[in-house]
């Protein structure tokens, strides 16, 4: 009896030690890759200068948390911090925001970012919403004075070409230029307050736009900005592609395309980021991810399970994984599916991955896993993904106490050209999802132009179907 008790006690002790070790490992993991920013503990500022100095003192913690800086980038960012502190109290709200944005941008990393959603809501914006297509920037949503210009292409702002303005504002965004142009540039375009702070427009309250109208006419118009709107929907320009109402949006906004317009597959039911469809006649299974996490009532876990079951049961010859609007989330939610997608059924002859500059973060991981493990059975169609083969991700965020500027920092290194396990900061979860690729450049480049959008065409899907149809 005593012997049995001793054995039981030893087993319990070992189990307890193992449990403690597991807990310690989990704690260390989250502390390393998902640390919480320190609490701001400052007295109430007495004036603007003190408020900005407090924000800068708090921002200094960013250099400890964001691991993406090179030695030179960090040196420049710290020098700019010191210079900005001297100017505290003399900077406008927008100038201060851009100073912070520039320090963050010196990390040159897409996940190290001043969050554009809160920034845009905190500043004035034109009554126009732009979208960047392969052939330029177009107005696809408008209200008030901007409605007559729906469908027009933006060619210049206050006499400077749209491309020149985009290039100038790139100073305030790290990471690849193609993702910035697609994702952030249009939000800068919409705010005369921010563009004036950068020295690009003449007035803080209005912009003079040079437009190419749908009928070919060149037209100039000066538009007044709307005041900041903290209640504006938390969406980016991809959401404006759908003509359907956006939750929380002022009903006076008018889309370019009429509500109820038949949309191509990848733009249907935009509130739901997960879609799948089987075309029995073509023996083709289509699956779309615009997110890698639960989105409101739409749960990703059951959807992934259903996709796996569908492919294994329906036995398609071709699979199309549409990741062109997949901006990321938790890559582990789809990692197993994408890693195995080319071999889920013996019937699968080929897998096509659709990508664009919107394909970011977990969307890139999904692309890399499918391409690496699927080998020659996988073809990438579309445009370049929105990040490099190596980037820093994971991490968290911090809000400056007075200005409320919201910033994201990155703590884990991803490298899809070589294993990063021995490198500083490697996100070691990748050990379970190895990838070793030279590039994710599309095998078949297909741009998405404004004319495609207006006429409801999907050139990427059309190209895939044409390749499938070849003998």
Instruction: Give residue 420's pLDDT.
Output: 82
Q: Are residues 248 and 291 in the same domain?
A: no
Q: Are residues 465 and 331 in the same domain?
A: yes
Q: Alpha-carbon distance 370 to 385, whole Å?
A: 14
Q: Would residue 82 count as lying in a domain?
A: no
Q: Is the pLDDT confidence value at 227 over 60?
A: yes
Q: Would residue 385 count as lying in a domain?
A: yes
3-state SS class at 215: coil
How sure is the predictor about 30, in pLDDT bands with cuts at 50, 70 and 90?
low
* CB-count exposure of residue 18 (10 Å: 0-12, 13-18, 19+): exposed
Q: Are residues 463 and 331 in the same domain?
A: yes
Q: What are phi and psi of 468, to 5 degrees?
A: -65, -40
Q: Alpha-carbon distance 264 to 256, whole Å?
A: 15
* Mean local confidence (pLDDT), 211-236: 96
Q: Alpha-carbon distance 247 to 254, whole Å?
A: 14
Q: Are residues 245 and 362 in the same domain?
A: no
Strands (E), 68-159: 113-114, 128-133, 136-142, 153-157
Q: Would residue 146 count as lying in a domain?
A: yes
Q: Hey, how many other C-beta atoms are within 10 angstroms of the C-beta on 27?
A: 10
What DSSP designation does 224 have? Answer: E
Rounding to the nearest 10 degrees, give the CA dihedral for residues 155, 162, 461, 381: 140
Q: Would residue 49 count as lying in a domain?
A: no
CB 149 within 8 A of CB 142: yes
Which of 204, 223, 255 represents a domain boundary (last residue)? 255
From the list 161, 184, 201, the residue with the least C-alpha distance to 105 is 184
CA angle at 65 for the pair 411 and 394, rounded to the nearest 5°: 25
pLDDT tens track for 406-432:
999 999 999 999 888 778 899 989 989
Q: Is the pLDDT confidence value at 50 over 50?
A: yes
Q: Are residues 347 and 443 in the same domain?
A: yes
Q: Name the H helices within 106-263.
A: 116-121, 162-169, 177-183, 185-189, 192-197
Which of 189, 224, 255 represents a domain boundary (last residue)? 255
Sign of the Cα torsion 405, 411, 412, 414 reads positive
How crowded is the C-beta side of 176, counted as CA atoms within 13 Å? 19
User: String of b and e for 152-161 (b: at least 16 CB within 10 Å)?
Assistant: bbbbbbbebe
Q: Would residue 70 count as lying in a domain?
A: no
Q: Would residue 274 count as lying in a domain?
A: yes
CA angle at 130 for the pair 129 and 134, rounded to the nearest 5°: 160
Q: Alpha-carbon distance 92 to 82, whole Å?
A: 17
Q: Alpha-carbon distance 162 to 186, whole Å?
A: 10
Instruction: Give residue 348's pLDDT.
Output: 98
Q: Are residues 205 and 282 in the same domain?
A: no
Instruction: Give residue 471's pLDDT.
Output: 61
Q: Are residues 458 and 343 in the same domain?
A: yes
- Length of the chain as a residue count: 471
Q: Are residues 281 and 383 in the same domain?
A: yes
* Mean local confidence (pLDDT), 253-282: 96
pLDDT tens track for 75-118:
999 999 999 999 999 999 999 999 999 999 999 999 999 999 99
Q: Are residues 247 and 288 in the same domain?
A: no
Output the domain CATH number for residue 157.
2.30.42.10
* CB-count exposure of residue 453 (10 Å: 0-12, 13-18, 19+): buried
Sequence-distant (6+) residues with CB within 8 A of 6 are none
Task: Read off the pTM.
Answer: 0.94
Q: Are residues 230 and 337 in the same domain?
A: no
Q: What are phi and psi of 439, to 5 degrees?
A: -160, 160
Output the domain CATH number for residue 295.
3.90.226.10
Which of 255, 279, 301 represents a domain boundary (last residue)? 255
Residue 57: which H helix or E strand, with range? helix 48-59
Instruction: Give residue 2's pLDDT.
Output: 56
From the list 106, 31, 23, the residue with the least C-alpha distance to 69 is 106
From the list 398, 434, 394, the residue with the least C-alpha distance to 418 is 434
Residue 250 C-alpha from the chain's centroid:
24
* Mean local confidence (pLDDT), 134-159: 98
How sure is the predictor about 1, in pLDDT bands with cuts at 50, 70 and 90?
low
How sure is the predictor about 24, in pLDDT bands with cuts at 50, 70 and 90?
very low
Instruction: Give residue 20's pLDDT.
Output: 47
Residue 194 C-alpha from the chain's centroid:
21
Q: Is the pLDDT confidence value at 291 over 50?
A: yes
Q: Would residue 326 count as lying in a domain?
A: yes
Sequence-distant (6+) residues with CB within 8 A of 175 are 108, 109, 110, 111, 112, 113, 386, 387, 388, 391
Q: What percent of the chain has pLDDT over 70?
A: 93
3-state SS class at 220: strand
Q: Are residues 343 and 269 in the same domain?
A: yes
* Mean local confidence (pLDDT), 371-384: 97
What DSSP designation does 298 have? Answer: B
**What is the residue range of 383's domain?**
265-389+437-469
The number of domains in the chain is 2
Residue 398 C-alpha from the chain's centroid:
18
Q: Would residue 260 count as lying in a domain?
A: no
CB 147 within 8 A of CB 256: no
pLDDT tens track for 327-346:
999 999 999 999 999 999 99
Q: Are residues 125 and 238 in the same domain?
A: yes
Residues 164-170: contacts with CB under 8 Å, at least 24 apart: 165/189, 165/195, 165/200, 168/198, 168/200, 169/194, 169/195, 169/198, 169/200
């Amino acid at each position: 009896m005593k012997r049995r008790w001793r054995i039981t006690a030893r087993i319990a002790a070992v189990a307890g030690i193992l449990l403690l070790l597991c807990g310690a490992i989990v704690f260390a993991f989250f502390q390393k890759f998902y640390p919480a920013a320190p609490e701001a503990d400052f007295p109430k500022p007495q004036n603007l200068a003190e408020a900005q100095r407090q924000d800068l003192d708090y921002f200094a913690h960013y250099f400890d948390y964001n691991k993406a800086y090179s030695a030179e980038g960090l040196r420049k960012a710290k020098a700019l911090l010191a210079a900005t502190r001297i100017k505290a109290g003399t900077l406008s709200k927008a100038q201060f925001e851009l100073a912070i944005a520039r320090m963050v941008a010196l990390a040159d990393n897409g996940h190290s970012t001043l969050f554009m959603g809160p920034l845009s809501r905190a500043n004035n914006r034109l009554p126009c919403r732009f979208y960047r297509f392969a052939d330029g920037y177009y107005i696809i949503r408008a209200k008030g004075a901007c409605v007559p210009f729906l469908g027009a292409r933006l060619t210049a702002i206050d006499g400077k070409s749209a491309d020149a303005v985009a290039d100038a504002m790139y100073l305030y965004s790290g990471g690849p230029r193609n993702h910035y142009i697609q994702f952030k540039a249009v939000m800068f375009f919409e705010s005369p307050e921010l563009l004036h702070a950068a020295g690009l427009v003449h007035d803080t309250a209005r912009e003079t736009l040079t437009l190419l109208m749908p009928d070919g006419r060149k037209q100039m118009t000066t538009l007044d900005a709307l005041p900041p709107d903290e209640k504006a929907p938390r969406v980016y320009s991809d959401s404006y592609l759908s003509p359907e109402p956006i939750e929380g949006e002022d009903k006076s906004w008018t889309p370019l395309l009429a509500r109820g317009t038949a949309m191509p597959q990848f733009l249907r039911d935009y509130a739901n980021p997960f879609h799948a469809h089987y075309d029995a006649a073509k023996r083709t299974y289509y699956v779309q991810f615009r997110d890698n996490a639960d989105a409101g009532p739409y749960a990703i876990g059951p959807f992934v399970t259903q996709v796996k079951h569908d492919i294994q049961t329906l036995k398609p010859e071709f699979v199309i994984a549409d990741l062109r609007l997949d901006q990321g989330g938790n890559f582990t939610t789809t990692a197993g599916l994408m890693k195995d997608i080319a071999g889920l059924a013996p019937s699968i002859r080929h897998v096509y991955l659709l990508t664009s500059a919107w394909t970011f973060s977990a969307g890139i991981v999904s692309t890399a896993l499918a391409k690496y493990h699927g080998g020659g059975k996988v073809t990438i169609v579309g445009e370049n993904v929105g990040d490099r083969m190596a980037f820093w991700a994971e991490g968290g965020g911090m809000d400056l106490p007075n200005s409320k500027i919201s910033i994201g920092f990155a703590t884990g290194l991803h490298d899809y050209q070589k294993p990063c396990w021995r490198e500083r900061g490697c996100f070691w979860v990748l050990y379970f999802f190895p990838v070793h690729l030279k590039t994710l450049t599309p095998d078949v480049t297909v741009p998405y132009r404004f004319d495609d959008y207006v006429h409801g065409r999907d050139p990427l899907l059309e190209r895939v179907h044409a390749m499938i149809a070849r003998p």
